[in-house]
Amino acid sequence: MERVRVAVLSSDAITHAGLESCLNSRAEVLVVPNRNLVEVDVVVLAAERLTDGVTALRALGTDLERSAVLVIDQLDPAGLLAAVECGVAAVIPRTAATEDHLIRVIQVAATGGGVLPPDLMGELLREIARLQREVLAPRGISASGLTPRELDVVRLLAEGLDTADIAEKLAYSERTVKNVIYGMTNRLKLRNRPHVVAYAMRAGVI
């Protein structure tokens, strides 16, 4: 198995040295200098609180385009959604960051997976539900990012119908159908109609 390239970040020099020493002893990972984050697969960042970790990740700006694993002293759910937006794939309490567990979490993050303590997972699901209820639903948008009208159109696209057929089926004008499709492709940065259908399939709405 190819070694996972890891960079370690921490404002505390002792913590930073401890994490690097721990990871350097393992064959599964390769610790690389954190001055060039584009060369890493996973960033391991130690912080006191989740919000501190989010602040540190945001400070990196566009330099961080890799999955991040946060090792946190205090598991406060505040900032959980912001952490996800910053590319955090895993959060583990410092007390649980044994050498073996940390390696497993890094490997999961490197392959696109995620790891959260059960209480934080529950909080994340509640936050997503609140976001859907209070932000998306009032705007007529589902969690997939598509409005009910867009969902109707994309489901018919998936059945192979053309613009005229969709317009007839939904009692819309052809111009309306074209505008709906254009709105989806433009807002979601999709290339064409097949890409729209593929997006909807990945979102689980068709």
Let me know whether 108 and 145 are in one domain. Answer: no
Is there a contact between 75 and 67 (Cβ–Cβ < 8 Å)? no
DSSP state at residue 115? B
Q: What is the DSSP letter of 11?
A: S
Average pLDDT in the 4-25 region? 91
CATH code of the domain containing 56: 3.40.50.2300
Answer yes or no: do 25 and 98 share one domain.
yes
Are 169 and 70 contained in the same domain?
Answer: no
Mean pLDDT of 155-160: 90
Predicted pLDDT at 203: 78
Could you tell me which of 112, 101, 90 has the C-alpha nearest to residue 44?
Answer: 90
Q: Which domain holds residue 196?
A: 138-202
In a domain, residue 180? The reply is: yes
In total, how many domains does the chain have?
2
CATH number at residue 189: 1.10.10.10
- Whether the per-residue pLDDT at 6 is higher than 90: the answer is yes
pLDDT value for 45:
93
pLDDT for 122 equals 81
Instruction: Say if 124 falls within a structural domain.
Output: no
* Contacts of the segment 193-197: beta carbons below 8 A, 24+ positions apart: 193/157, 196/154, 196/157, 197/154, 197/157, 197/158
pTM: 0.65
Q: Which of 24-38, 47-61, 135-149, 180-194 shows the lowest mean pLDDT across its residues?
A: 135-149
Say which DSSP state 36 is in. Answer: -
Average pLDDT value over all residues in the chain: 86
Q: DSSP letter at 133?
A: I
- In the prediction, which pLDDT does 64 show? 58
Q: What is the pLDDT of residue 189?
A: 87
> In this model, does residue 55 exceed pLDDT 60?
yes
In terms of domains, do 55 and 92 share one?
yes
Residue 80 included in any domain: yes
With 60 as the cut, is the pLDDT of residue 62 above it?
no
Within a domain: residue 142? yes
Look at residue 28 in the predicted model and tell me its pLDDT.
94
Please indicate, yes or no, whether residues 192 and 145 belong to a single structural domain of this protein: yes
**Is the pLDDT reported for residue 36 higher than 90?**
no
